[in-house]
Amino acid sequence: MASKPRSIVREYLEAALWALLITLFLRAFVIQAFRIPSESMKDTLLVGDFLFVNKFEYGAKIPFTHIRLPGLRQPRRGDVIVFQFPQDPSKDYIKRCIATGGETIEIRNKQVSVNGTPLREPYAVHSDPNVKPAGYEYRDNFGPFTVPPGETFMMGDNRDNSNDSRYWGTLVMDLVKGRAMFLYWSWDTDRNWPRWNRILRPIR
């Protein structure tokens, strides 16, 4: 009679173990949750937004290695990407891809151009109307700069309040985690209330 309870306990332990393994596999190779910690992507992403990151689209990295599995495609302009911060890989950042390898980016008085063509950027926000002159810093005037092959130039949508490629350089593929897909939850800390209109919103 004592063996039956033990078998039930074993079944529960095996089920829990399989659930854990499946969760770890999905997190490593398919999808991962991410929380927005700063205002650098405002208004596309707000502090308190929770989103899912697609890891297999670019090819997931095998944990604890620099080996990347084959992906469906490479990052392209307009993708919102989660990556390890180049200056401190223990931190995750999220920015928008503005230019890819071989493209030349230039910023003049806040206007971004790629290969000589001004970009139409409805997602970009400028909170400071002042323009900082070239030679003073890179926020409003930058380049021209040609992105090295296989790398990307990343910028936050909140252009006047973002630590991005203007300051620390281009992003190598080895640090890319995946593309941001959609919000699954959003919490307004000022009101202590969910932002219902943002839940299940795709990220563009």
> By residue range, what is the domain housing residue 128?
31-198
Report the CATH number at residue 90: 2.10.109.10
Mark whether 90 is an active-site residue.
Answer: no
Provide the domain count of the chain: 1
Residue 87: which residues within 8 A CB-CB, separation 6 or more? 168
Beta bridge partners of 122: none
Mean of the per-residue pLDDT values of the chain? 92
By percentage, how much of the chain surpasses pLDDT 90?
77
Q: Residue 6: its pLDDT value, please?
A: 61
Tell me, yes or no, whether 5 lies in a domain.
Answer: no
pLDDT digits (tens, 9 = 90+) for 102-157: 999 999 999 999 999 999 999 999 999 999 998 889 999 999 999 999 999 999 99
15, part of any domain: no
User: Which pLDDT belongs to residue 25?
Assistant: 67
| Paired tokens of 63 | 């944990």
Measure the CA–CA gap between 161 and 124, rounded to whole angstroms: 11
Instruction: Specify the pLDDT at position 184.
Output: 96
pLDDT attached to residue 1? 47
Q: Are 161 and 46 in contact (CB under 8 A)?
A: no
Return d(Cα 98, Cα 94) in angstroms, integer: 13
Alpha-helix runs per DSSP H in 43-91: none
Domain assignment present for 46: yes
> What are the pLDDT digits (tens) for 5-15?
668 877 778 77
Q: Check residue 120 and report its DSSP letter.
A: -
Residue-wise pLDDT tens digits, 23-48? 676 666 678 999 999 999 999 999 99
Whether 95 sits among the annotated catalytic residues: the reply is yes
Structure tokens of 142? Answer: 């930058």
Give the Cα separation of 20 and 53 in Å (integer).
Answer: 19
Q: How far apart are CA 191 and CA 176, in angstroms?
A: 33
Among residues of the chain, what percentage have pLDDT more than 70? 94
Q: What would the pLDDT profile of 50-70 be if each residue is shown by its tens digit?
A: 999 999 999 999 888 999 999
From the list 42, 61, 95, 177, the catalytic residue is 95
Q: Is residue 1, in this structure, part of any structural domain at all?
A: no
The reply to whether 185 falls in a domain is: yes
